[in-house]
Homo-oligomer: A and B are copies of this chain.
Amino acid sequence: MSRWEPNARGRLEQAALELYGERGFEQTTVADIAQRAGLTERTFFRHYADKREVLFGGAASLQEALVSTLAAAPAAAAPIDAVAAALGTAADLFGERHAFARRRHRVIVANADLRERELIKLADLSAALADGLRARGVADPAASLAAEAGVAVFKVAFERWIEESGERDVAEVIRESLAELKVVMAGG
């Protein structure tokens, strides 16, 4: 096996997802994942801290994309609209991977450890969005509330998109859910 492993991260993620689906998360070891991917355990740990993390390799780039889009929103944009613009960028990261996203989501909801890991990633995302809003001059608690509401919309919209056929853009489902939350908050 050569020391340079093309797309090692993607292969490990794919192998983990297959095995968690087939045998369950608890019944799968890092050694199993590495073997299925045709890589070594050592390579696994070069890329991921543990067997939960392998399903969240995209979290950092998602957060980066959201935060930089938030920073680039027009200065006059209301906080929730700046957050909405940021959420729209999520579309670019998931748009082409509906089947993968659905399989991944089903594996996660079936296991409490994976659900917890997903929730802490979403909480980190919310904290990063709140920081981004504060950097735009938004005071607290509006910054925290807009960030939390944004992540709530993201979560609900993403789950709806997962259950759909995949023909719609995730960005469209996010816009729709945001509009719906505005109605809900207006007491409608």
Q: Is A168 an interface residue (CB 8 A)?
A: no
A79 touches which of B116, B155, B184 (Cβ 8 Å): B184
Q: Is the interface of A mostly helix, strand, loop or mixed?
A: helix
Report yes or no: B177 in contact with A141, Cβ–Cβ below 8 A: yes
Encode contact with B along A119-149: 1 for CB under 8 Å, 0 otherwise.
1101100000000000000000110111011
How many copies of this chain does the complex contain?
2
A186 touches which of B116, B117, B144, B186 (Cβ 8 Å): B186
Report yes or no: A153 in contact with B145, Cβ–Cβ below 8 A: yes
Query: Could you name 11 residue pairs across A and B whose Cβ atoms are closer than 8 Å?
Result: A78-B188, A79-B184, A112-B120, A116-B116, A116-B117, A116-B120, A119-B119, A141-B156, A145-B153, A145-B181, A145-B184
Q: Which A residues contact B (CB, under 8 angstroms)? A: 78-81, 112, 115-117, 119-120, 122-123, 141-142, 144-146, 148-149, 151-153, 155-157, 159-160, 177, 180-188
